[in-house]
Amino acid sequence: MLKVRIIPCLDVKDGRVVKGVKFLDLRDAGDPVEAARAYDAAGADELCFLDITASHEDRGILLDVVSRTAAECFMPLTVGGGVRSVADIRRLLLAGADKVSINTAAVNDRGFVREAAAKFGDQCIVVAIDAKRVSGEGEPDRWEIFTHGGRKPTGLDAIAFAREVVSLGAGELLVTSMDRDGTRSGYDLALVRAISDAVPVPVVASGGVGNLDDLVAGVREGRASAVLAASIFHFGEHTIGAAKRHMAAAGIPVRITP
């Protein structure tokens, strides 16, 4: 039976984990490779690196991080942040990424999704959808795509955008609620569910996890195929193992590793 994936996400800037990973007695809490190794050992089902390096010139540092991680962690690795060209994708895949997540570039040029999927296969093209609820009280739910960390509206309807990028070849969608991100108040379950029901590909729920019940709700109510979280794992509140046991107890199929 296919299991629901739990994916810790590490924000990486200039080759360092932003805010650090404060658990598991890492010698260097800011080293993404060491954090990756720890999550690998802890039974994470996949890892996600989100590069928030400001300048394009520093991208070589990320490639080195990806390459050193892939040399030690025999598990799937998704890398996103600042991916704008076929050459960017090729470099990440050659460094050892299995999937590449595209965000702003997909909003700006839908043809890029088609080109990337045709070149590298649907299975390695993830489109990251950052959405905010724009419907008012009492109106039918509506979400809009935002870029620039949720600051810039695009006028694009999130559900229609999701359908479109999947028709162009996106093999997975990473759906982040910009209303919930960082709030610890749980995923925007209506958003995750609306997108998951609209597309045939797997959807990863992201943004807002505050406790382990949020992970359960992401799957049960959001119908996500995978759940992504950052701070609840990085700061040692919950281990990957505890998250899996909690989900298993709620009847969700997860991969329990020894």
Partner 1 sequence: MSVAIVDYGSGNLNSAAKAFERAAREAGATGPITVTSDPDLVRRADRIVLPGVGAFADCRRGLDAVAGMTDAIREGAIDRGRPFLGICVGMQLMATRGLEHETTAGFDWIRGDVRAVQPSDPSLKIPHMGWNTLHPQQDHALLDGLELGPDGQHAYFVHSYALQAEDMDDVVACASYGGAVTALVARDNLAGTQFHPEKSQALGLRLITNFLHWSP
Q: Which is nearer to partner 1, 115 or 237 (CB)?
A: 115
27 binds partner 1 (CB under 8 A): no
In this chain, which of 85, 123, 135, 167 binds partner 1, going by CB under 8 A?
123
Please identify, among the stretches 55-63, 92-100, 127-135, 138-146, the one whose residues bind partner 1 according to the rule CB under 8 A.
92-100
In this chain, which of 9, 79, 105, 124 binds partner 1, going by CB under 8 A?
124
As measured in angstroms, the least distance from the Cβ of 93 to partner 1 is 5
In this chain, which of 56, 71, 135, 152 binds partner 1, going by CB under 8 A?
71
136 binds partner 1 (CB under 8 A): no
Q: Which residue numbers are catalytic?
A: 11, 130
85 binds partner 1 (CB under 8 A): no
Please identify, among the stretches 3-11, 104-112, 208-216, 241-249, the one whose residues bind partner 1 according to the rule CB under 8 A.
3-11
Inter-CA distances, 174 with 70, 99, 125, 226, 228, Å: 21, 12, 11, 9, 9
249 binds partner 1 (CB under 8 A): no
127 binds partner 1 (CB under 8 A): no
160 binds partner 1 (CB under 8 A): no
**Closest listed residue to residue 222, CA positions, set 236, 202, 240, 238:** 202
In this chain, which of 98, 141, 157, 213 binds partner 1, going by CB under 8 A?
98
Q: Which is nearer to partner 1, 19 or 255 (CB)?
A: 255
SS (H, E, C) the chain: CCCCEEEEEEEEECCEECCCCCCCCCCCCCCHHHHHHHHHHHCCCCEEEEECCCCHHHHHHHHHHHHHHHCCCCCCEEEECCCCCHHHHHHHHHHCCCEEEECHHHHHCHHHHHHHHHHHCHHHEEEEEEEEECCCCCCCCCEEEEECCCCEEEEEEHHHHHHHHHHCCCCEEEEEECCCCCCCCCCCHHHHHHHHHHCCCCEEEECCCCCHHHHHHHHHCCCCCEEEECHHHHCCCCCHHHHHHHHHHCCCCCCCCC
In this chain, which of 101, 104, 206, 225 binds partner 1, going by CB under 8 A?
225
Contact residues toward partner 1 (CB under 8 A) are: 1-5, 40, 45, 67, 70-72, 74-76, 93-98, 119-124, 171-172, 200-203, 225-226, 255, 257
